[in-house]
Amino acid sequence: MLTAFFLEAGFLGVMLFGWNKVGPGLHFLSTCMVALGTLMSTFWILASNSWMHTPQGFEIHNGQVVPVDWVAVIFNPSFPYRLLHMSVAAFLSSAMFVGASAAWHLLKGNDTPAIRRMFSMALWMAVVVAPVQALIGDMHGLNTLKHQPVKIAAIEGHWENTPGEPTPLTLVGWPDMEAERTRYALEIPALGSLILTHSLDKQVPALKDYPKEDRPNSTVVFWSFRLMVGMGVLMIFLGLARSDTDAMAAA
């Protein structure tokens, strides 16, 4: 962790303030080193965070957690998915930031080849990365369903199953933790089972399967997840719209 922070700190000043003071090669190297340091710190931060969600490689001695297998601690079951999901999200967010900066210049009339290239590269990046992020998100969801099913139940606002029937997907609604139901729910039958288990024969665990004290706040995670999905879909469409424009311009 300290190595990553020192790597970032050592090159950050050159990246931010060395534009006209060092050569383009050194400036590019500094930018890459800052990015590398950030990814290295992401590795260790997410290893720690993931362990708190899916702890492995430890024993309890006298009421204290004692690591007994550091490989299992670091590479716990949710870590690979969280690391991929977060790293790709960083690249996608960077693409959107660069694209937004270029769009601002274009709206202000600064229509130069460099700005157009900047805008095009950012949205082409989104075309590639956003669908990959959706695929990784699906894999992460399956991992969470396996190791932390109550979280999936809260994200879906799913309170109880009907025996013998697949789980519906709730598009919108308002989870009520006191009433133990999702009000104003708009559901698509069986789609929840298909998306979350990749099967129409399996059911998704429901919130009522768990004690009240173990249930996450469904209202918060229900809408947070849908906001995230909506933004991801918008990013995909933005990238596709730009790629179509580039294709028509080339023709």
Q: Whole-model pTM? A: 0.83
Q: Where are the domains of the chain?
A: 1-76, 151-216
Are residues 58 and 67 in contact, defined by beta-carbon separation less than 8 angstroms? yes
Q: Give pLDDT tens digits along the chain (251 positions).
A: 677 777 888 888 888 888 888 888 998 999 899 988 888 899 999 999 999 999 999 999 999 999 999 999 999 999 999 999 999 999 999 999 999 999 999 999 888 888 989 998 898 888 899 999 999 999 999 999 999 999 999 999 999 998 889 999 999 999 999 999 999 999 999 999 999 998 888 899 999 999 999 999 999 999 999 999 999 888 888 878 766 555 544 44
Name the DSSP class of 3: H
For 178, which DSSP code? T
The three state secondary structure string of 238-249 is HHHHHHHHHHHH
Which candidate, 131, 124, 106, places its Cα nearest to that of 239? 124
